[in-house]
Structure 1
Amino acid sequence: MVASEDRFEAVPAAPNGTGVLLLAGSSGRVERERAELLATTGARVRAIRWFGGEGQRPSPHEVPVELFASEIESLLREVDRIVLFGTSFGAEAVLVTASRYAVDGVIAVAPSSVVWAGADAGSWSSHWTHGGEPVPYVAFDPSWSPKTDPPAFVSLYETSLLLDADATAAARIPVGDIAGEVLLIAGGDDQVWPSARFAAEVEAARSERGLVTTVVTHPGAGHRLLLPGESPAVGGVAMRRGGSPEADAELGARAWPEIRRMLQAAR
Structure 2
Amino acid sequence: MHLVGDGPTGVLVLSGSSGRVEVDRCRVLAEAGATAASYRWFGEVLDRLPLESFDEPLALLHERCDRLVVLGTSRGAEAALLLGARHPEIDAVVAISPSDVVWAALGEARPQRSSWTSGGEPLPFVPYDDAWVAETDPPEYLEHYEHCLAAYADRVPAARIPVERIAGEVVVVAGGDDRLWPSVEFAEAVVRRRAAAGLPTTLVSHPEAGHRVVLPGETPPAPSHLAHGGTPEADAALGRLLWPHVRRLLSG
Q: Residue 43 in 1 paired to residue 34 in 2?
A: yes
Aligned match of 1:25:
16
Q: Which moved more, 1:167-176 or 1:39-48?
A: 39-48
Aligned match of 2:51:
65
Q: 1:208: how far off? A: 0.8
Among 226, 229, 245, the residue aligned to 1:239: 226
Q: Which moved more, 1:185-194 or 1:36-45?
A: 36-45
TM-score (norm 1): 0.91
- 2:126 and 2:59 map into 1 onto residues whose CA distance is 30
Percent of aligned pairs sharing the same letter: 48
Aligned match of 1:186:
174
Q: Which moved more, 1:208-217 or 1:241-250?
A: 208-217
Among 209, 217, 237, the residue aligned to 2:197: 209
Provide the aligned length of Structure 1 versus Structure 2: 250
Which deviations, in whole Å up to 9, do the C-alpha atoms of 1:183-230 show, x marking residues without a partner?
A: 111100000000011000000000111212101000000000011111
Which runs of no fewer than 5 residues in structure 1 stay unpaired? 1-6, 53-57
- 2:10 and 2:48 map into 1 onto residues whose CA distance is 26
Counterpart mapping for 1:1-267 below 5 A: 7-12=1-6, 15=7, 17-52=8-43, 58-102=44-88, 103-123=90-110, 124-234=112-222, 238-265=225-252
Residue type of the partner of 2:3?
A: E
Which deviations, in whole Å up to 9, do the C-alpha atoms of 1:2-44 show, x marking residues without a partner?
A: xxxxx211114xx2x2111110001111000100101122211
How well do the aligned residues superpose, as a CA RMSD in angstroms?
A: 1.2
Residue type of the partner of 2:19?
A: G
- 1:75 and 1:177 map into 2 onto residues whose CA distance is 22
SS of residue matched to 1:83: strand
Higher helix share: 2
- 1:122 and 1:206 map into 2 onto residues whose CA distance is 34
SS of residue matched to 2:150: coil
Which deviations, in whole Å up to 9, do the C-alpha atoms of 1:45-86 show, x marking residues without a partner?
A: 11111112xxxxx21111111111221122111111110000
Does the C-alpha gap of structure 1 residues 28 and 235 become closer, same or farther in structure 2, counting only changes over 3 Å? farther
Which runs of no fewer than 5 residues in structure 2 stay unpaired? none
- 1:263 and 1:212 map into 2 onto residues whose CA distance is 19
Q: Which moved more, 1:139-148 or 1:185-194?
A: 139-148
Q: 1:235: how far off? A: 5.5
SS of residue matched to 1:99: helix
SS of residue matched to 1:147: coil
SS of residue matched to 1:215: strand
